[in-house]
Amino acid sequence: MSLEWLDPKGDLQDMVMSSRIRVARNLKDRPFPHFASPEDLEAVRERVLEILSGVEHLKDRRIYHIDSMDPLSRQVLVENRQMSRALAQGGPGRSILLDLKGILSVMINEEDHVRLQVLLGGLNLQEGWCVAKSLLDRMGEDNFAFHGDLGFLSSCPTNVGTGLRASVMVHLPALARLGRMEAVSNECQKLGLVVRGAFGEGTPSHGAIFQISNQVTLGPSEEELEEKTTGVVRRLCEEEKRAREVLREAAGENLEDGIFRAFGILTNARLLSFGETMELLSSVRLGGAMGMLPKMSGAFWNRLMLDVQPGRIQALAEGPLDRKGRRRLRAQLVRERLAGLESCP
């Protein structure tokens, strides 16, 4: 199964990794997941899959029932960003439908009956919303719980209204190094957006990777939410560019030394933890963007960021690995990938 988001497009791919549109919906006349019995959840799954069976967009798809999946398969789908950590915990009626291009995923009986997700490379929220809207139209919006004043209903009050979350994953190493991310987060909050770690709420921002998404779903239209998030991300990228120049002037030789030390460790280390790898790779990519090292393309960076994840490392192995084995294989993978980077023109 391919993953479209690994190949970002557009003018900001050196900072913007991917864009995601996620829409929450619940079937009308059915109890929401938190209040539903196992029998209710099974009935919801059956009904949602019935609705999806008639959607041409999802003709080529795979359906996974979470409780039938082994832990590693669940972890890999989470790291692929196709499935939430909450859904991966399993439970009655929990399933996921994936298209074979790695663009669409439909999570069933997570916090809501349906969590539809569109994931694309680069800054591409507008196209993501067009794809999601087309799919929702074909599913039939009249199947879902709707209130005349509030809009679409959700298990969580912050998702009532449009039910839409527009989020963009960005790499902002200079702003992070200058200690400006708290100020960035505060400014985003004033605009109705939130800054989170790479895997959403409650997750750390390893390697200066952050998610920017809207907080408000009630009031503005889907198009307005998408446009606001896109505009804020563009401004953040401009701030990151300026921060890199400030960093160059302020840190000078110390910055260059730190970047080359990071490159030296990554190209020679025999054991690497996930957290250390992310921080060092972030420095190396910054060095490439500033002309000190070979530049990483967006596709190179995205693939590498994915493949060093713990589940992906285990999946790449020929057999089970202990913690040290995963660190060994991760170090080998990074050495091989960076050797390829050095040979690029």
Q: Is 19 annotated as a binding residue?
A: yes
In our burial notation (b when 16+ CB lie closer than 10 A, e otherwise), range 287-300 reads: bbbbebbbbbebeb
Q: Is 212 annotated as a binding residue?
A: no
Helix (H, G, I), strand (E, B) or coil at 205: coil
Q: Is 328 annotated as a binding residue?
A: no
Q: Is 337 annotated as a binding residue?
A: no
Q: Is 262 annotated as a binding residue?
A: no
Q: Is 20 annotated as a binding residue?
A: yes
Q: Is 21 annotated as a binding residue?
A: yes
Q: Is 107 annotated as a binding residue?
A: no
**Cβ count near 214 (within 10 Å):** 23
**What span, in angstroms and rounded, lies between the C-alpha atoms of 77 and 307?**
12
Sign for the CA dihedral angle at 276, 281, 284, 290 comes to negative
Q: Is 199 annotated as a binding residue?
A: yes
Q: Is 197 annotated as a binding residue?
A: yes
Q: Is 166 annotated as a binding residue?
A: yes
Q: Is 200 annotated as a binding residue?
A: yes
Q: Is 30 annotated as a binding residue?
A: no
Which whole-number Å values give the CA distances from 282 to 80, 84, 227, 263, 334, in the listed order?
A: 19, 24, 28, 10, 13
Q: Which residues pair with 248 in a beta bridge?
A: none
Helix ranges (H only) for the chain are 38-53, 71-79, 85-88, 125-139, 173-177, 181-190, 222-251, 253-266, 274-289, 298-307, 310-316, 323-342
Q: Is 219 annotated as a binding residue?
A: no
Q: Which residues pair with 24 in a beta bridge?
A: 115
**What span, in angstroms and rounded, lies between the C-alpha atoms of 79 and 81?**
5
Q: Is 132 annotated as a binding residue?
A: no
**What span, in angstroms and rounded, lies between the C-alpha atoms of 58 and 147?**
28
**Cβ count near 30 (within 10 Å):** 17
Q: Find out whether 83 and 71 touch, Cβ atoms under 8 Å.
A: no
Residues in binding site: 18-22, 115, 165-169, 196-201
Which residues sit in the known binding site for ATP?
A: 18-22, 115, 165-169, 196-201
